[in-house]
Amino acid sequence: MPKVKALILRTAGTNCDWETEHALRKVRAETQRIHINRILEKKDLLHQYHILVLPGGFTYGDDIAAGKILANLLRFHLEGEIRHFLQEGKLILGICNGFQTLVKSRLLPALDGNAQEATLTFNDSNRFEARWVYLKVCSSKSVYIQEGQILYLPVAHAEGKFLTRDEGVLQRLRDASQIVFKYVNPEGEDAEYPYNPNGSIENIAGICDPTGRILGMMPHPERYVEPFQHPRWQREGLAKQPHGILIFRNAVDYVKKNLL
């Protein structure tokens, strides 16, 4: 049977690529961690894969702004290849720094094409936030997750505050069901800090593009794919299905059903 192939894009400062590879291999994807310089040298490498993952970290030291330099590389050197990749019905996942990159490269939210419609900026706390958060899945549009679930995942970022360019962009995200994840309290209700660790507008933690095949999220699903990674597993017992693995399994299942 053909294998689902995932490319994990790394560069200077990427530091979550190994965990992301482990998560994808757990759901039977064939993965490779490839430096962006190799892709720039041989751009058709991208088309050998079904899933492109931009993992977390601090690409290029987050100089200028988090994810900005990598975003410019994608936008100005790989835009054609990425557009073709998406036209083939393939998937892109950006986690934390990867989400920042997708937004600043204008691949998300992808409402107007060339305009940058949103950003991720400094947390309201003005410090790096590393904690576990509750997420409510608010949309059925994304192929990565099903609406109505409450997930528990860790965040680790200093620039995770999601803002739209204006109220019009925010309303279009609402109308198109592109707001996938919101920070909530344990009961699934909107809540302020520390449940919302960064001050994102409307508690937004992740969005998708209009097709549902590009997903960007600040929390780290790759950090909860083993039961013992839960911070309270010794008191509460081992979960049968760690919440983070759902994102990767659904991506692989989508490729199997639609692209193989």
Residues forming a β-bridge with 190: 184
Residue 194, domain extent = 5-258
Query: What's the pLDDT score for residue 123?
Result: 98
The more confidently predicted of residues 114 and 156 is 156
* Domain CATH code at residue 254: 3.40.50.880
The tokens for 111 are 């409402």
CA gap 103, 118 in Å, rounded: 6
Q: What is the mean pLDDT of the chain?
A: 97
- Where are the strands (E) in 36-111, listed by range? 51-54, 91-95
Look up tokens 């933690």; give the residue.
205
CA gap 36, 259 in Å, rounded: 24
The tokens for 92 are 């892109």
Arithmetic mean of pLDDT, 159-177: 97
The tokens for 112 are 């107007």
Residue 206 confidence (pLDDT) above 90: yes
Report the domain count for the chain. 1
Radius of gyration of the CA atoms of the chain, in A: 17
Determine contact, residues 224/239, Cβ cutoff 8 Å. Answer: no
Confidence band for 115, pLDDT divided at 50, 70 and 90: confident
CA gap 18, 173 in Å, rounded: 32
Q: How does strand 150-157 pair with strand 91-95? A: unpaired
Confidence band for 1, pLDDT divided at 50, 70 and 90: confident
Query: What's the pLDDT score for residue 118?
Result: 97
Active site residues: 96, 220, 222
Amino acid in the structure at residue 149? Q
pTM of the model: 0.97
